[in-house]
Amino acid sequence: MVSKNQNKAPSSPSPASFSSINRKSSSVDEVSIDKKRRIASTKMAPNTGTRTQTRQAFSVVNGGQDLPPLSGPPSNFGSDCGAIEFTKDDVDTLLNEKLKKNLNYREKNDKMIDFIKRLKQCIKWFLQLEANYVEEQEKIKKLLELAEKNCNETELMMKAKEDELNSIIMELRKNLEALQSKFAKEEVDRVEALDSLARERDLRLAAEKLQASLSEDLRRSQLDNASANQKIQSLNDTYRRLQEFNTSLHQWNTRLQSDLEATNTTLKRVQEEKAAVVENLSTLRGNLTSLQEQLSLSRASQDEAIKQKEALVSEASHLRGDLQQVREDRDRQLSQVEGLQSEVSKYKECTGKYTADLETLSTKTVKLESTCSDQSEQIRRLHEQLASAQQKLQLSDLSAMETRSEFEVNKAMILELKSRLADADLKIVEGENVRKKLHNTILELKGNIRVFCRVRPLLSDDGVGNDVKVVSFPISMEAQGRGIDLSQNGQKHSFTFDKVFVPDNSQEDVFVEISQLVQSALDGYKVCIFAYGQTGSGKTYTMMGKPGLLDQKGLIPRSLEQVFQTKQMLEAQGWKYEMQVSMLEIYNETIRDLLSANKSTFDASRVETAKQYAIKHDANGNTYVSDLTIVDVRSSREVSYLLERAAQSRSVGKTQMNEQSSRSHFVFTLRIVGVNESTDQQVQGVLNLIDLAGSERLSKSGSTGDRLKETQAINKSLSSLSDVIFALAKKEEHVPFRNSKLTYLLQPCLGGDSKTLMFVNVSPDPASVGESLCSLRFAARVNACEIGIPRRQTNLRSSDSRLSIG
Ligand SMILES: Nc1ncnc2c1ncn2[C@@H]1O[C@H](COP(=O)(O)OP(=O)(O)OP(=O)(O)O)[C@@H](O)[C@H]1O
């Protein structure tokens, strides 16, 4: 925040020249011409129409018989001056007024009083006009703010609507894209499903064909099986018959055996009979031959039987072979049947498998068909959704178009409003310029050098009862609120100032009176506000207030609050301000930087060697002090912090140097640089708020040595200050400085268009009535600077233009 050595004052856009102030009593003409120019420049635009009708009213204020005649008869005479309006001519006439030369002092005085009265009416009218301007400006500002707010709201609404629609469109587009991609996917799935369905169908047909051929095979196998079974049955029958035949052959064989045995027995018996016969051979030879014949016959029959038997045996073996064959056939057939049966079972298995496959295929097909129908349904729904989305899209496109056209209309409206706003801004700027001029004119009419007197309440420390009153306030019409009477040793001394604040007046009451000066600093003027008075008279209270008590804040904090509040307000009109603060103390003609981070600066002797704090003025009338700490500030809080720091620095410095708090001048400087880029205007103002060293009679404290030096330094700087104010007010070419640092520092802030206000603080303590009288005399002298003549009743000794304290 702190920026060292940036304290070179920036170049002024309007260098102050002393020519605009007309203060010399002998040259009222000069004052008039200058003021006429300023008033003419204000144009008095807003009330022209009304004013042409009431123009004659001004003749009231020019009512003196020695004034040049005016265009119309007087009106509203004696009525409230608020009803009277002035034209440029009226003001010119008033300002061009000349006093007749052959008047005596009393008449001159009367004329002057009358002139002042009319001037006051004129000032009141200007104040009224200014109030109207301010009111009008406020109205325009409010209207503008409203229009701007409406515009912004409409714009925001439109933007929000557009955003909303855009987001809906985006969403719909996204949905559409998603639906389309889903649709495409579904289409692919559908095609795949259809393909797989076709494949399944083919497979099914192939399986059905296979099943049919297998069924045919099975049927054929079953037929083969049946024929094989029949064959087996017939073979079984043949086998059974062959077995029966075999049994019968066995029976036949058995019989043949039994026959053979019977034949053998017969043979035996025959042989026995042969023997018998042999015996009887001879006898029987005959028998023999017969018997032989019988034998050969038997043998032949036996051979035949054997042959028969052999034939039968071979037949049986044949039959056995056949049976074996049949058995083998049967076995073969059986194995064939078994093979066929296993084949059939295989076929059956296959058929089962194929049937299961067929079933799964069927269920799959059914599933696929249902999926297909689902997908078709989905596709239909998607188509519907797509159609509705497209419809919505069309609708939203339409509404977007509508919104766009609405937006265009609003845009056009906004543009129009903006142009109106620009016009209004221009008007505000013009109004602001007029206001500044009027404000300045009013302040000039009030006086560029003014003196306010403030009497503090009697304090318990004063040690005197409330019954002893040395200060009183006249209540005559002329002096009410402006006069102060001081009684010393039974003698009454009367003084009149621009304003007198009584002990009951609050800090707020005092600030109200100076707030216009603070505004002037923001308008680019140099403003100096001094608090002057004896020790303990309330200078610090007036300038700083009581720490910690908000309602008792002094002029400095209040001024800063106003500066930052107004800065914020003017920012709306395009003004950008930069503020810089510096705070210094002049003690015994030594400058002390109160914002310096270096604590060693409290040591005056070291300061002088380390830092020279040389005061310099540039060609533009700006002042800067080398090595002084300048701090950029952006809020009144920042400044409050700096003020606290400065106060701390002051008290530490005083302790270190055994100095009394009242013996140094405290100078607070706020540099204001304002730039309006839209109107290309630039202003540079300075606000100097100064708590002067307390004036104190040396004799009172009876001090010597250092104290004497201190007092002399104070007196020198105050005396020098009064000389400078005098010289500048009188537009003297040579401005004396008398080597006072304070005077040299403030010199550019006291001349030209600068506004100077001095508070003379007075203590009601009877014990310090002498000092009070001294202060009041000095203040009355400064007050008299205004127009170069003692414009108010003062107790000045005419020759004494310099302060002598102590
Ligand atoms: N208007 C006032 N109302 C109430 N109290 C006041 C007023 N003016 C001054 N005082 C009180 O009077 C005392 C002296 O005031 P202050 O310190 O401001 O005087 P000063 O002129 O600055 O003195 P010095 O020159 O010694 O610094 C303080 O206690 C202050 O609070």
Instruction: Check whether 437 is labelled as a binding-site residue.
Output: no
* Cα end-to-end span (Å), the chain: 43
536 close to ligand 1 (CB < 6 Angstrom): yes
662 close to ligand 1 (CB < 6 Angstrom): yes
Candidates 452, 453, 456, 775: which one to mutate for ligand 1, based on the most atoms within 8 Å of Cβ?
456
661 close to ligand 1 (CB < 6 Angstrom): yes
Q: How far is the CA of 537 from the centre of ligand 1 (A)?
A: 5
Domain assignment present for residue 413? The answer is yes
Instruction: Check whether 538 is labelled as a binding-site residue.
Output: yes
Q: What is the DSSP letter of 69?
A: P
> In angstroms, rounded to a whole number, what is the distance separating the alpha carbons of residues 764 and 780?
18
506 close to ligand 1 (CB < 6 Angstrom): no
Task: Work out whether strand 491-496 and strand 483-488 pair parallel, antiparallel, or are unpaired.
Answer: antiparallel
Question: Which atom, in ligand 1's list, is nearest to the CA of 694?
Answer: 25
pLDDT at 120: 82
Instruction: Check whether 540 is labelled as a binding-site residue.
Output: yes
pLDDT at 565: 92
Given a contact cutoff of 8 angstroms between Cβ atoms, the answer to whether 556 and 783 are in contact is: no
Domain assignment present for residue 615? The answer is no
H or E element that contains 35 = helix 28-42
Instruction: Check whether 446 is labelled as a binding-site residue.
Output: no
Shortest-distance Cα residue to atom 27 of ligand 1? 662
Per-residue tokens: 668: 């607070």
pLDDT at 715: 66
663 close to ligand 1 (CB < 6 Angstrom): no
> In angstroms, rounded to a whole number, what is the distance separating the alpha carbons of residues 613 and 630?
13
Q: What is the CA radius of gyration of the chain?
A: 70
396 close to ligand 1 (CB < 6 Angstrom): no
Low-confidence ranges of the chain (pLDDT < 70): 1-84, 99, 274, 277-278, 280-281, 283-288, 445, 463-467, 598-611, 653-662, 695-720, 723-724, 726-739, 750-752, 785-806
Domain assignment present for residue 201? The answer is yes
Shortest-distance Cα residue to atom 8 of ligand 1? 538
Domain assignment present for residue 394? The answer is yes
537 close to ligand 1 (CB < 6 Angstrom): yes
Q: Which residues contact 508 (CB under 8 A, 6 or more apart)?
A: 551, 558
Question: Which atom, in ligand 1's list, is nearest to the CA of 454?
Answer: 1
Domain assignment present for residue 18? The answer is no
Domain assignment present for residue 335? The answer is yes
> In angstroms, rounded to a whole number, what is the distance separating the alpha carbons of residues 55 and 70?
10
Q: Which residues contact 760 (CB under 8 A, 6 or more apart)?
A: 451, 452, 453, 454, 497, 532, 533, 775, 776, 778, 779
Q: How far is the CA of 76 from the centre of ligand 1 (A)?
A: 47
The tens digit of pLDDT for each residue in 756-791 reads: 888 999 989 888 888 888 888 878 877 776 433 333
| Strand spans (E) along 214-358 | none
Candidates 460, 532, 541: which one to mutate for ligand 1, based on the most atoms within 8 Å of Cβ?
541
3-state class of 774 per DSSP? helix
Q: How far is the CA of 695 from the centre of ligand 1 (A)?
A: 14
535 close to ligand 1 (CB < 6 Angstrom): yes
pLDDT at 484: 94
Looking at residue 369, its amino acid is E
Domain assignment present for residue 12? The answer is no
How many Cα atoms sit within 13 Å of 337 on the Cβ side?
15
533 close to ligand 1 (CB < 6 Angstrom): yes
554 close to ligand 1 (CB < 6 Angstrom): no
Instruction: Check whether 431 is labelled as a binding-site residue.
Output: no
Domain assignment present for residue 125? The answer is no
Candidates 540, 549, 759, 775: which one to mutate for ligand 1, based on the most atoms within 8 Å of Cβ?
540
447 close to ligand 1 (CB < 6 Angstrom): no
Question: Which atom, in ligand 1's list, is nearest to the CA of 693?
Answer: 25
540 close to ligand 1 (CB < 6 Angstrom): yes
Shortest-distance Cα residue to atom 31 of ligand 1? 541
Instruction: Check whether 566 is labelled as a binding-site residue.
Output: no
Q: How far is the CA of 541 from the centre of ligand 1 (A)?
A: 5
Give the Cα-Cα-Cα angle 69, 72, 73 (nearest 5 degrees).
Answer: 90
Please count the structural domains in the chain.
1
Question: Which atom, in ligand 1's list, is nearest to the CA of 660?
Answer: 26
Q: How far is the CA of 636 from the centre of ligand 1 (A)?
A: 24
**Residue range(s) defining the domain that contains residue 411:** 156-417
